Amino acid sequence: MAKWQRFLWLVFALALSSCRQDMHDQPRFKALAQSDFYSDLRSARPPVEGTVARGQLRSDSYFYTGKVGSDPGDYMPFPVTEEVLKRGQERFNIYCAPCHSRLGDGNGMIAQRGFRHPPSYHEERLRKAPLGYLFSVMTDGFGAMPSYADQIPADDRWRIVAYIRALQLSQNATEADTSGQQVPSPPAQFEEPGSGATLAVPVPRSAEAGEEQK
């Protein structure tokens, strides 16, 4: 190969090397841009009918609606453990107690300040309400109460349901619920002042003679 031929090859190779095209600048449509390629003038194709976004299949419909068919079901979709109740309590106190109060009697601060009073959870009707009903109230909203589906994920909503049931039991327990175990009565020294019993409150050190005057 003559020298000038080699030189030509070099120029040719250099010229070719600048022809590469990266993926990020290949011909493409900008999102939502108009295009006259398709008759509907949309550059993007609509997804096939019935397409489900990843993570949104929700095949377990009870878990997301609390309903079996069109009626509320009355079981938890997962076992209730102490952890479940603790998380339920925490979420309840954050999201529900402002109106329903920590006791669930419907006398939360927002209700005290003029918002419509929610019913007490301890009334007969709500004590007997199926678990799925409590779940659906949070999911869909109820009357003046908005839906909490966007703020509280479904698993936490179920944990709140479990905690509400525990709250209801706590306010309506009978001796039979203790399954024969004796309920310890509070020690005498913690009785109300004035009831005749002595309060075993230690005297603070600083209140003892002379300590404060140095």
Provide the binding-site residues for ligand HEC, judged by CB under 6 A. Answer: 95-96, 98-100, 110, 115-116, 118-119, 126, 134, 137-138, 142-145, 148, 152, 160
- When the beta carbons of 144 and 188 are compared against ligand HEC, the nearer one is 144
Report the nearest approach of ligand HEC to the CB of residue 116 (Å).
4
Residue nearest to ligand HEC (CB): 143
- When the beta carbons of 68 and 149 are compared against ligand HEC, the nearer one is 149
Report the nearest approach of ligand HEC to the CB of residue 205 (Å).
44
Report the nearest approach of ligand HEC to the CB of residue 132 (Å).
11
- When the beta carbons of 42 and 102 are compared against ligand HEC, the nearer one is 102
Cross-strand partners of 67: 72
- When the beta carbons of 42 and 76 are compared against ligand HEC, the nearer one is 76
Report the nearest approach of ligand HEC to the CB of residue 95 (Å).
4
